[in-house]
Amino acid sequence: MSQDTIELLSEQRCFDGMQRFYRHASQAIGLPMRFSVFVPPQAEGGRVPVLFFLAGLTCTEETFMIKAGAQRFAAQHGLMLVAPDTSPRGAGVPGENDDWDLGTGAGFYLDATQPSWRAHYRMETYLVDELFRLVTSVLPGDAARVGISGHSMGGHGALVLAQRHRDQFQSVSAFAPIAAPSRVPWGEKAFTAYLGSDRQVWAAYDASQLMARAQDPFPKGILIDQGLADGFLASQLHPDAFKAACAQANQPLVLRTHADYDHSYYFIATFIQDHVAFHAERLGSN
């Protein structure tokens, strides 16, 4: 079987495009992986720009597509939406299902280096090499016009992967990202398990630390939305650290805060139209 073979699990017509769910045998992960794609109607005329959306802890490839309501706006702008799963499934790592914030559903979009995890928990390689290739070859995505966004753990992933792979991602945004994972409980727990105890190694996956030493910022800006009623804001997210790092790097940043909004998909659904338009403008939508 070709490494680019993907199995269509389901498809539904949606805003004159197609909402699809796929499964494939991942070479990077070494296990079957699932992902979802919204193909806008403009894809009938050729390749279209792509927006990857990375979901947060405990989520799957279904969460964003079902809850965010992004397809309406993606269809208007001619933007393909892609949502991967949040971790490998069934890797057999001892304890991977014990905690909701580590292991299954909590891959943190990095390549693990520690013995228990490194064989299968290779989400960075999966996303930027394997899934990126599938979306821009087998599916009608344009490899020269790709953006990335995400929520919470996925916001961390978006900010980090955009910086680590500047040649692949032309635009980046986030909702309530874990912006300084090296200094919060979620990040400390995951990084210790996946990367070991050396905090210098962690810096390679910390969005704020990466930005603080950036040489080539995103000149068209970064967009972040954060709810002020978010119960994780003070303890886990620290967008202030990323804001300070952007100022140090002369990185244009729009950090919008919203009274009374929490960490849920009701918050994301409220502002997703702005994020789709933000990426469409930067990617040159159809």
- Read off the amino acid at residue 13: R
10 Å CB burial of residue 255 (0-12, 13-18, 19+) is: middle
Catalytically annotated residue among 24, 230, 238, 275: 230
Of 26, 36, 149, 152, the catalytic one is: 152
Catalytic residue among 77, 238, 263, 279: 263
- Encode burial over 194-221: b for 16+ CB neighbours within 10 A, e otherwise: bbeeeeeebeebbbbbbbbebeebbeeb
From 220, 210, 231, select the one nearest 253 (Cα to Cα). Answer: 220
Is 152 one of the catalytic residues?
Answer: yes
- Catalytic (active site) residue 260: no
Three-state helix/strand/coil letters over 164-216 = HCCCCCCEEEEECCCCCHHHCHHHHHHHHHHHCCCHHHHHHHCHHHHHHCCCC
Six-digit token pair at 235? 């303890």
Would you call 263 a catalytic residue per the annotation? yes
Active site residues: 152, 230, 263
